[in-house]
Amino acid sequence: MLRGTDVAASLGERNPDALKAYCEDDAAIFRTGGEEMVSPIFRMVDGSVAEVRLRFDPYVYFAPNAARALPALERAFEETEIAFSLAPGKGYAIRNDLWFHGRRAYSGNREMLRIMIGSSHASSRNAGPGTR
């Protein structure tokens, strides 16, 4: 996991141009099916991180300056990563709009419960064992 504020601070110290590229309104295009969202990676309000948005899949496209800055973003991720293991039956909760997150390889089943709070799409659903 990576706290968005930590990643932005690392980029700001080591590569301010990269941070600027990721704060541009058109830093990335996220496509899902027929829908498209153009968005910054870091949405800043009064100099503070208000929201982060990023995924790596074949349906994400980066603006040229953001694409060139990917090595700097990767270094910032490496410098600020928070990694931990979970025991069976344990979990965690995060603000999805302030944290970058993913997972490493695992074996066995897992269960994910996703709860959307404060969204126009608020819902809760159980994705079931072994699903992502």
Over the stretch 18-38, which tens digit does the pLDDT of each residue have? 999 999 999 999 999 899 999
DSSP character at residue 119: S
Q: Note the pLDDT tens digit of each residue in 69-78.
A: 999 999 999 9
Per-residue CA distances from 127 to 3, 112, 132 (Å): 25, 6, 7
* H helix or E strand, kind and range, residue 86: none
Q: How confident is the model at residue 121 (pLDDT cuts 50, 70, 90)?
A: very low
Q: What pTM did the predictor assign? A: 0.79
Give the range among 8-22, 27-41, 99-113, 115-129 with minimum mean pLDDT: 115-129
Instruction: Give domain limits for the chain.
Output: 2-80
Residues 79-109 have pLDDT tens digits of 999 988 888 888 888 888 999 887 767 777 7
131 or 21: whose pLDDT is higher?
A: 21
H helix or E strand, kind and range, residue 110: none
User: What per-residue confidence (pLDDT) applies to 120?
Assistant: 52
Q: Which amino acid is at 87?
A: A
What are the structure tokens assigned to 51, written together? 């929201």
E-strand spans in the chain? 2-3, 28-32, 35-39, 42-45, 48-52, 60-62, 99-100, 113-115, 124-126
pLDDT at 131 over 50: no
Q: What number of CA atoms fall less than 13 Å from residue 104's CA on the CB side?
A: 7
The mean pLDDT of the chain is 86
